[in-house]
């Protein structure tokens, strides 16, 4: 009877532990390798090649390499955000076109979180960062929201110079979610209407590719 009582106690403790972990978002880890097929293939963007794939399952690595933070935001804030939204895994890739002064690098990423609600919260936080001026003090860039048809719930921002000329620099940022997965892309380019159009088209391709992946 004593042994049976101890066994019942162990079972009860295990059940309670499972409940606590579930309540705290204790989901299983998702490997970066399993997430890589969700990334937009370089072949989907004319002229671009893949130069690096990244494992950002550690929120510190994700905060320091994977997302574009404005200078006033501490990376620790991003780490806390992804811990709060229960990051289970993340992967990324750097796509490159051109060389030297004509080189353009696009960073794309995908993160698995515990739930669609967590993904939406993480997207909202990233979008709030995109809407901040990217530099300390008086900044030359001004963020503008861009509408993107065909990608439900997408958040797109272009950070332009005031009275930008086509040759002036601009920063491009975008995020969208599908279920518990958060997707994003960012790069720095010029202010030409063609560049903005290509960016929007690339995000639309990314969304269509992600939709084809198993949940």
At 211 the pLDDT is 96
Does 121 lie in the same domain as 76? yes
For residue 116, the surrounding DSSP H or E stretch is helix 116-130
pLDDT band at 26 (very low <50, low <70, confident <90, very high): low
CA distance readout (Å), 179 to 76, 183, 200, 203: 26, 11, 21, 17
Q: Is it the case that residue 50 has pLDDT exceeding 70?
A: yes
Does 36 lie in the same domain as 122? yes
Q: For residue range 63-107, what is the model confidence (pLDDT) as tens digits?
A: 999 999 999 999 999 999 999 999 999 999 999 999 887 899 999
CB 143 within 8 A of CB 130: yes
Does 180 lie in the same domain as 108? yes
8-state DSSP, 89: E
What residues does 50 pair with on adjacent strands? Answer: 95
Does 37 lie in the same domain as 22? no
Q: For residue range 171-198, what is the model confidence (pLDDT) as tens digits?
A: 999 999 999 999 999 999 999 999 999 9
Does 190 lie in the same domain as 149? yes
Q: Which residue segment(s) compose the domain that 8 sits in? A: 1-28
8-state DSSP, 65: I
Residue in the block written with tokens 């518990």:
180
Supply the pTM of this predicted model: 0.86
pLDDT band at 3 (very low <50, low <70, confident <90, very high): very low
Does 51 lie in the same domain as 20? no
Does 115 lie in the same domain as 24? no
């Amino acid at each position: 009877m004593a042994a049976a009582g101890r066994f019942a106690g162990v079972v009860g403790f295990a059940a309670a532990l499972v409940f606590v972990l579930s309540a705290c978002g204790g989901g299983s880890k998702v490997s970066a390798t399993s997430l890589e097929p969700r990334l937009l293939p370089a072949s989907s963007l004319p002229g671009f090649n893949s130069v690096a794939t990244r494992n950002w399952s550690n929120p510190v690595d994700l905060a320091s390499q994977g997302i574009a933070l404005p200078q006033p935001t501490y990376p620790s804030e991003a780490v806390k955000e992804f811990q709060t939204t229960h990051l289970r895994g993340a992967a990324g890739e750097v796509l490159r076109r051109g060389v030297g002064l004509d080189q353009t690098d696009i960073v794309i990423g995908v993160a698995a979180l515990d739930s669609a609600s967590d993904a939406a919260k993480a997207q909202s936080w990233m979008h709030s960062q995109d809407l901040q001026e990217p530099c300390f003090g008086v900044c030359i860039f001004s963020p503008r929201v861009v509408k993107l048809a065909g990608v439900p719930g997408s958040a797109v921002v272009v950070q332009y110079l005031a009275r930008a000329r086509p040759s002036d620099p601009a920063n491009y940022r975008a995020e969208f979610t599908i279920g518990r997965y958060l997707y994003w892309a960012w790069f720095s380019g010029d202010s030409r209407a063609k560049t903005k159009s290509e960016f929007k088209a690339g995000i639309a391709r990314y969304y269509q590719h992600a939709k084809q992946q198993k949940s």
